[in-house]
Amino acid sequence: MEDRLPDTAAPQPKPLRIAIAGLGTVGAGVIRLLDTNATLIAARAGRAIEVVSVSARDRSKDRGVDIGRFAWEDDMTALARRGDVDVVVELVGGSDGPALALSRAALTAGKGLVTANKAMVAHHGLELAQLAEAAGVPLKFEAAVGGGIPVIKGLREGTSANALTKVYGILNGTCNYILSTMERTGADFADVLAEAQRLGFAEADPAFDIEGVDAAHKLAILAAIGFGTRIDFAGVRVNGITQVRAADIAQADALGFVIRLIGEADVEETPAGPRLLQRVRPCLVAKGHPLSAVDGATNAVVAEGNFSGRLLFQGAGAGDGPTASAVAADLIDIARDEVGAPFSIPVAQLAAMPPAEPGHRTERTYLRFMVKDRPGVLAEITAAMRDGNVSIESLIQQGRGHDAGEVMVAMVTHEGQEANVTAALALLEGSDSLTGDPLVLPILPL
């Protein structure tokens, strides 16, 4: 078949002109993707997406992509002032500092903003959304949650007709890699973390990941979109995975569970009005639960809608390709003039929901104590449980722990109020039978 020459007389739609700040893993990935898939992107977007200008710290660094064809700005906020740019793409990172300054400048100057920066959206998302709405320009952050998984689109568009009852999932690939590797190899936390750092699955400073803060950023974003609430990062209760031992994972396995760091959010109706519960904590996940099969650096989000039922979004939560895919999807939406409120509902209509107090909620719990190997300790623990009104379903006393003279006592409780477990543990506080803080892991319902 003969190729048809383009009809040069027909007016070509104007390209969407973008500037990219940050040319690291994600920034270079976006350039590579826009180059590789330029034809199909232009066809789907209805016009070309053209990089006009870029900025990073070091102009001379080899980034594996040709950046010589783009105008370079030493000062990235200059990208926001360029008359030849429609949308600024912020891929620098950090909740405040230059990323925030650039984002404010871009929106104030009437440019659209696309960002992968969950920390900035979690802390300043409302302010940025207000700036975007005031200027009538798009603000999009699909890549900020779950890397390549279109979960923000899923909640903003796919489930938009539903009242969500719950959003939860595995939101941090580093923690999931560590926990699933501990499970597979039997190695302890510190050794697997060191290996993850060596392989590039964990940052040199892993605190944000292993202490649950990164997952909390993402959860706060999902909760705001899913429940139509003002984003409330400070309201997330956060526990990381640093206390989980190989012995806990082995114990969980014997009981039919795996351990995963789960971020979960729901809305509770109370006589004083609705309350938002957001928390990130390691949980026991039954082997039949869809999240139990999520291994390695993969992320997964479950959304439960009142008409859709349970939906599972799963995929690569990080990496240059998946994250670039999400950034480019936002750009294609903007090129198509599909804008919409950043948090699905205009900022003025988002509900300000106080945090829920979960003490009266019921769940089954795994409790683990490291204790001195001496008579009477087990009786002391079970007495505290009895006095706290915690009913024990099964109790396991294991052999020696890390230190001589230390043993592990693990138990699973019957379903009961969270406040009862807290009260029972308070009775053991300061006991010299315990050699460390107890570990409390809720059991995720199926």
Ligand X SMILES: NC(=O)c1ccc[n+]([C@@H]2O[C@H](COP(=O)([O-])OP(=O)(O)OC[C@H]3O[C@@H](n4cnc5c(N)ncnc54)[C@H](OP(=O)(O)O)[C@@H]3O)[C@@H](O)[C@H]2O)c1
Tell me if residue 67 falls in helix, strand or coil.
coil
Residue 373 CA to its chain's centroid (Å): 40
State the catalytic residue, choosing from 111, 118, 140, 218: 218
Which of these ranges, 7-15, 55-63, 417-425, 428-436, lies near ligand X under the rule CB under 6 A?
Answer: 55-63
Work out how close the CB of 90 gets to ligand X at its nearest, in angstroms, rounded to a whole number: 8
CA distance 424 to 390: 7
Query: Binding of ligand X at residue 61 (CB under 6 A)?
Result: yes
Query: Binding of ligand X at residue 114 (CB under 6 A)?
Result: no
> Which tokens in the block code for residue 350?
């988002």
End-to-end CA distance of the chain: 56
Which of these ranges, 85-93, 234-242, 273-281, 347-355, lies near ligand X under the rule CB under 6 A?
Answer: 85-93
Q: Residue 342 in contact with residue 265, Cβ under 8 Å?
A: no
Which of these ranges, 56-64, 257-265, 346-354, 430-438, lies near ligand X under the rule CB under 6 A?
Answer: 56-64
Q: Residue 90 in contact with residue 117, Cβ under 8 Å?
A: yes
SS3 per-residue string spanning 264-305? EEEEEEECCEEEEEEEEEEEEEECCCHHHHCCCCEEEEEEEE
Q: Residue 149 in contact with residue 299, Cβ under 8 Å?
A: yes
Q: Binder to ligand X among 18, 20, 26, 41 (CB under 6 A)?
A: 26
Q: Which is nearer to ligand X, 143 or 328 (CB)?
A: 143
Query: Binding of ligand X at residue 57 (CB under 6 A)?
Result: yes
Query: Binding of ligand X at residue 444 (CB under 6 A)?
Result: no
> Which tokens in the block code for residue 69?
């064809």
Query: Binding of ligand X at residue 125 (CB under 6 A)?
Result: no
Which of these ranges, 25-33, 159-167, 369-377, 405-413, lies near ligand X under the rule CB under 6 A?
Answer: 25-33
Tell me if residue 149 falls in helix, strand or coil.
coil
Query: Binding of ligand X at residue 100 (CB under 6 A)?
Result: no
Work out how close the CB of 219 gets to ligand X at its nearest, in angstroms, rounded to a whole number: 15
Query: With CB under 6 A, what is the number of residues at the site for ligand X?
Result: 23
Query: Binding of ligand X at residue 401 (CB under 6 A)?
Result: no
- Give the DSSP letter of residue 389: T
Q: Residue 36 in contact with residue 64, Cβ under 8 Å?
A: no
Q: Residue 145 in contact with residue 153, Cβ under 8 Å?
A: no
Amino acid of residue 341: A
Q: Nearest to residue 86, comparing CAs of 41, 131, 136?
A: 136
Q: Binder to ligand X among 58, 62, 66, 269 (CB under 6 A)?
A: 58
Q: Could you say which residues in the range 129-158 bind ligand X, by CB under 6 A?
A: 143, 147
Comparing every residue's Cβ against ligand X, the nearest one is: 24
Query: Binding of ligand X at residue 20 (CB under 6 A)?
Result: no
Query: Binding of ligand X at residue 174 (CB under 6 A)?
Result: no
Amino acid of residue 328: A
Work out how close the CB of 52 gets to ligand X at its nearest, in angstroms, rounded to a whole number: 17
Which of these ranges, 23-31, 64-72, 292-300, 368-376, lies near ligand X under the rule CB under 6 A?
Answer: 23-31
Query: Binding of ligand X at residue 314 (CB under 6 A)?
Result: no
H/E segment holding residue 347 = none
Q: Which is nearer to ligand X, 15 or 321 (CB)?
A: 321
Q: Binder to ligand X among 91, 152, 225, 267 (CB under 6 A)?
A: 91
Which of these ranges, 92-100, 178-186, 241-249, 255-263, lies near ligand X under the rule CB under 6 A?
Answer: 92-100
Which stretches of 289-421 are assigned E, i.e. beta strand?
A: 298-305, 309-316, 362-363, 365-372, 392-400, 406-413, 416-417
Whether residue 218 lies in the annotated active site: yes
- CA dihedral sign, ordered 278, 284, 290, 292: positive
Q: Binder to ligand X among 16, 18, 19, 27 (CB under 6 A)?
A: 27
CA distance 187 to 196: 12
- Bridge partners, 366 (sequence order): 412, 441
409 Cβ contact list (under 8 Å, min separation 6): 368, 369, 371, 377, 378, 381, 395, 396, 397, 398
H/E segment holding residue 311 = strand 309-316
Work out how close the CB of 278 gets to ligand X at its nearest, in angstroms, rounded to a whole number: 19
Q: Residue 197 in contact with residue 191, Cβ under 8 Å?
A: no
Q: Within the chain, what is the greatest distance between any pair of CA atoms?
A: 92
Q: Binder to ligand X among 323, 325, 344, 365 (CB under 6 A)?
A: 323
Binding mask 192-231 for ligand X (x = CB under 6 A): ----------------------------------------
Query: Binding of ligand X at residue 297 (CB under 6 A)?
Result: no
Query: Binding of ligand X at residue 319 (CB under 6 A)?
Result: yes
Q: Binder to ligand X among 16, 18, 22, 106 (CB under 6 A)?
A: 22
Q: Which is nearer to ligand X, 22 or 282 (CB)?
A: 22
Catalytic residues: 218
Question: Binding residues for ligand X, per CB under 6 A?
Answer: 22-27, 56-58, 61, 76, 91-93, 98, 116-118, 143, 147, 318-319, 323
